[in-house]
Amino acid sequence: SERSLRSAIDGIPGLVGILAPNGDVETVNRQILEYCGQSLEELRDWRTNGTVHQEDLPHLAEVFTRSIASGIPYQLEHRLRRFDGRYRWFDNRGVPIRDASGHIVRWYVLLTDIEDRTQALARVQQMQSDFAHMNRVSVMGELAASLSHEITQPIASARNNARAAENFLKMQPPDLGEVREALACVVGDADRVGDIIDRIREQVKKAPPRKERFDLNAAINEVVALARSVTNRNGVSVQTRLAEGLSSVEGDRVQLQQVLLNLILNAAEAMSPVEEGARELLISTKEDQTGVVVAVRDSGPGIDPEHLERVFDAFYTTKPSGTGMGLSICRSIIDAHGGRLWAEANKPRGAVFQFTLPGTDAEFTNPLQASERI
């Protein structure tokens, strides 16, 4: 029966191994021996002989040990060394086989080469991140005119306050109380400029996606401040209704701010045909059982119900100089955070864009990170 089993697994066009109930390698098919360029004896030492990439080994060992102990199937991705020394990504799955009384008699392991898929996925991810960066830079370009005002205004104010301090110093005797007050104003003005420049730099900087836990309400307030020059200029009244004690969310803070900035600028633009005094933007957050929900409501003309999905298509735009990339990028960012972004009609008029973000214990998609399912 051993011989017929061997010829059966040798006939499978894939890398197959058979393990003892305790996880020891019992046998592997010819394809594994050829792929790794190792003997069965050598493969038995897979934990120490470099067969598995050093960086992936601790995670694989942990998942594998847990699975063998609990008898629950495992699935994860890691790099495996080929006979020529090159590592390729593999999908590694193991399932236990039980006898009539339910005891595990052996484990079957299937290794599938996913190097090409992993590389293609990495390229798509890189492209998405390049697009997202381009979008941020172009949004900052759109904001440049109004942001330059935001910056020059406190600089002018700092100059006036510094002059005033000089004059108070020239007085006989110098009025040091006034000097102190004027200098405090200079510091305040400089901080305001510094904050705006920091925000711009964060948005324009090219950085790999990050996963961090942060206060979403605070991040929203920063974006509202950044967009204030545009919303003011367009006569939009902005209100925020941010839930108190909102759980922190996990993900890339700058990317999520980018989503909000896009939604706010779209809303401000959409409301331009509406008479002044009726351009209202409401940004709210709340929490439900699935996680955090953010809504951006406007009182513009709204979206034709037939186009509620189309607006997320790449290149779909109704603006003469639009690119139609904004919402498509926003959606891919929210997808990558395990959330959902959609548009609805606002009541009594306008559009509402909402997105969800899962609770902090949910996974943040990164296809290059080894995934596991036990």
Residues that bind ligand ADP (CB under 6 A): 262, 266-267, 270, 298, 300, 303, 311, 316-319, 322-328, 351
* Phi and psi torsions of 334, nearest 5°: -65, -40
CB of 252 to ligand ADP, least distance (A): 19
* Phi and psi torsions of 373, nearest 5°: -140, 115
**115 vs 142, beta carbon nearer ligand ADP:** 142
CB of 276 to ligand ADP, least distance (A): 17
**254 vs 268, beta carbon nearer ligand ADP:** 268
CA 255 to chain centre: 6
At 121, which amino acid appears? Answer: L
**What's the first-to-final CA gap in the chain, in angstroms?**
31
CB of 366 to ligand ADP, least distance (A): 25
CB of 233 to ligand ADP, least distance (A): 17
Of all residues in this chain, which one has the CB nearest to ligand ADP in the complex?
326
**25 vs 274, beta carbon nearer ligand ADP:** 274
CB of 356 to ligand ADP, least distance (A): 18
Pairs from 343-348 (Cβ < 8 Å, separation ≥ 24): 343/303, 343/308, 343/311, 343/312, 344/308, 345/302, 345/303, 345/305, 345/308, 346/297, 346/298, 346/299, 346/302
**237 vs 248, beta carbon nearer ligand ADP:** 237
Distance, CA of 268 to CA of 227 (rounded, Å): 10
25-28 and 15-19 as β-strands: parallel, antiparallel, unpaired?
A: antiparallel
Q: Write out the two tokens for 251.
A: 């993900």
**47 vs 310, beta carbon nearer ligand ADP:** 310
CB of 151 to ligand ADP, least distance (A): 25
| 35 CB neighbour count, 10 Å cutoff | 19
CB of 131 to ligand ADP, least distance (A): 12
Dihedral over alpha carbons 244, 245, 248, 254 (to 10 degrees) = 20
**7 vs 318, beta carbon nearer ligand ADP:** 318
**209 vs 300, beta carbon nearer ligand ADP:** 300
Letter string b/e over residues 238-272, b meaning 16 or more CB atoms within 10 A of that residue's CB: beeebeeebeebbbbbbbbbbbbbbbbbbbbbbbe
